[in-house]
């Protein structure tokens, strides 16, 4: 983040970080934006925020990252931040099985509150504590594959794979833009083409909710 020139990037991607208490959401954000590990990071009240400009396929992209409080009751507050997220980083702690078991709840929240194109990235954090591991890589990988999630194990402490997780997500979003599956004009795409003063066009949401039912074979005698 050498020079925060205001308009030297071509996209803004909105991210959210979700997951149970104490899995290291804020630390991941801090590691990514400041490249430092904050051992004693005060717990998040409500939401916190960070930005960083990255480069994907030669395009400069500004990531706008919302870090949410992990406690269940804060979901009432944090829910409104899911809307219009282009990427969701869903974090669990590899040394605490409970945080992994809660993923399905987080996933349904993420799926129901974001648009269908939102890229969801599963992150198993605290990879540096391999000795205390309670969730194997293979198991989580299987879960990720079953649910169409990208997956990496990271360590906010050592910085391992932290960049990769954030950048892979951006790459996937960028790819979605390139192949046209992500509609930039949709109000809730979570991607703004250019940081200009034009008011957001409220064209409505991406119309993908009507699930067409076809192909019921007819056979008569």
Partner 1 sequence: MTQSSSEQLPVVNMTNDDIELLKRLEEENRRIEYDTKSPANSTQTNHTGHPKSPELHHKQLRQDSISSDVSNLTIDADGNLESEWSAWNKIINNWTTYIKKKPQWIKDMIRAGVPIHFRPLLWQCLCKVETSHVKGKYAEYMKMISPCEKVIRRDISRTYPDHEFFKEKHGIGQERLFNVIKAYSLYDREVGYCQGIGFIVGLLLMHMPEEDAFAVLVSMMQDLSMRDMYKPDMFYLGLCIFQFEAMIQEFLPDLYRHFQVENFSTSTYASSWFLTLFTNQFSFNVACRTMDLFLSEGIEIIFRMGIALLEIHQDHLMLLSMDDMLKYFQKDVPIQHETDHESLFQRAFSVQYNSKKMKKLEKEYSVIRKEEQEEQIEVRRLRNENRLLKQRVENLEKESATLANRLIEGQVSNAQYAEESYQLKRENCTLKKQLDEKLKNATFSSSGHNSVQLTSPTELEMLRETVEKLNMENRNLQSMPHVEIAALQEELTLVKMRDAEAQVSMNELRQRIADLNREWQLHDSTCKTLRESNQVNESNDAYDLIAHELLSLKMREAQTDCDNKALSQQIMDLETQKQVVYNQIKRQDDEIQRMRLELDESRVREQELRAQLNETKNQMHDGELRLKEDSMMLRIREAESTQAIGDLRQRIAELEVQNQELITRGQIMDNRDLHDKLLELQDEVMRLRLLPTIHRNHSTSTDPHRHDYEESEDECLISPLSTSVNQRLSSSSIVLSPSSFISPNHRLRQSTPSLFPTLASSQSSATSTG
The residue range among 63-71, 145-153, 156-164, 177-185 that interacts with partner 1, by the rule CB under 8 A, is 63-71
- Which of these segments, 36-44, 124-132, 152-160, 181-189, binds partner 1 (CB under 8 A)? 36-44
Nearer to partner 1, 15 or 151 (CB): 15
Looking only at the bridges linking them, the beta strands covering 150-153 and 191-192 are unpaired
Cβ distance 103 to 69 under 8 Å?
A: no
Among 29, 48, 68, 140, binds partner 1 (CB under 8 A): 48
CA distances from 121 to 6, 87, 106 (A): 28, 8, 12
Angle at 202 between CA 200 and CA 206, to 5 degrees: 115
Candidate list 1, 46, 116, 204; residue touching partner 1; CB under 8 A: 46
Q: In the 3-class helix/strand/coil scheme, how is 40-87 assigned residue by residue?
A: CCCCCCCEEEEEEEEEECCEEEEEEEEEECCCHHHHHHHHHHHCCCCE
Minimum Å gap between C-beta 147 and partner 1 is: 17
Q: Using the rule CB under 8 A, which residue among 196, 198, 214, 217 binds partner 1?
A: 217
Q: With binding defined as CB under 8 A, does residue 60 bind partner 1?
A: no
Q: Are strands 47-56 and 11-19 parallel, antiparallel or unpaired?
A: unpaired
Rounded least distance, CB 197 to partner 1, Å: 9
Contacts of 214 (CB under 8 A, 6+ apart): none
Residue 75 and residue 189 in contact, taking contact as beta carbons nearer than 8 Å: no
**Segment contacting partner 1 (CB under 8 A): 64-72, 128-136, 141-149, 160-168?**
64-72
| Contact of 31 with 37, CB cutoff 8 Å | yes
Total residue length of the chain: 221
Residue of 2, 3, 5, 42 that binds partner 1 (CB under 8 A)? 42
Q: Which of 2, 3, 180, 200 binds partner 1 (CB under 8 A)?
A: 200
Spatial neighbors of 24 by CB under 8 A, at least 6 apart, are 91, 93, 125, 126, 156
Site for partner 1 in 65-84 (CB under 8 A): 69-74, 76-77, 80
Q: Which is nearer to partner 1, 62 or 161 (CB)?
A: 62
Is residue 45 a contact point for partner 1 (CB under 8 A)? yes
- Binding residues vs partner 1 (CB under 8 A): 21-22, 40-49, 51, 64, 69-74, 76-77, 80, 195, 199-200, 213, 216-217, 219, 221
């Amino acid at each position: 983040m050498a020079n925060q020139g205001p308009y030297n990037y071509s996209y803004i991607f909105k991210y959210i970080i979700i997951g149970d208490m104490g899995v290291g959401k804020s630390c991941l954000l801090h590691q990514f934006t400041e490249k430092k590990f904050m051992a004693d990071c005060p717990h998040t009240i409500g939401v916190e925020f960070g930005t960083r400009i990255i480069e994907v396929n030669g395009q400069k992209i500004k990531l706008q990252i919302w870090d949410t409080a992990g406690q269940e009751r804060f979901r009432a507050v944090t829910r409104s931040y899911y809307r219009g997220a282009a990427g969701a980083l869903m974090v669990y702690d590899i040394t605490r099985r409970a945080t992994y078991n809660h993923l399905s709840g987080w996933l349904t929240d993420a799926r129901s509150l974001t648009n269908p194109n939102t890229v969801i990235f599963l992150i198993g954090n605290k990879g540096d504590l391999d000795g205390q591991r309670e969730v194997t890589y293979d198991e989580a990988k299987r879960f990720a594959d079953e649910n169409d999630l990208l997956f990496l194990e990271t360590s906010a402490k050592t910085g391992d794979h932290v960049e990769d997780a954030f950048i892979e997500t951006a790459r996937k979003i960028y790819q979605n833009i390139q192949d046209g599956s992500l509609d930039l004009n949709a109000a809730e795409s979570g991607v703004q083409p250019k940081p200009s003063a034009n008011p957001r066009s409220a064209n409505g949401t991406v119309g993908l909710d009507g699930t067409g039912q076809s192909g019921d074979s007819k056979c008569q005698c």
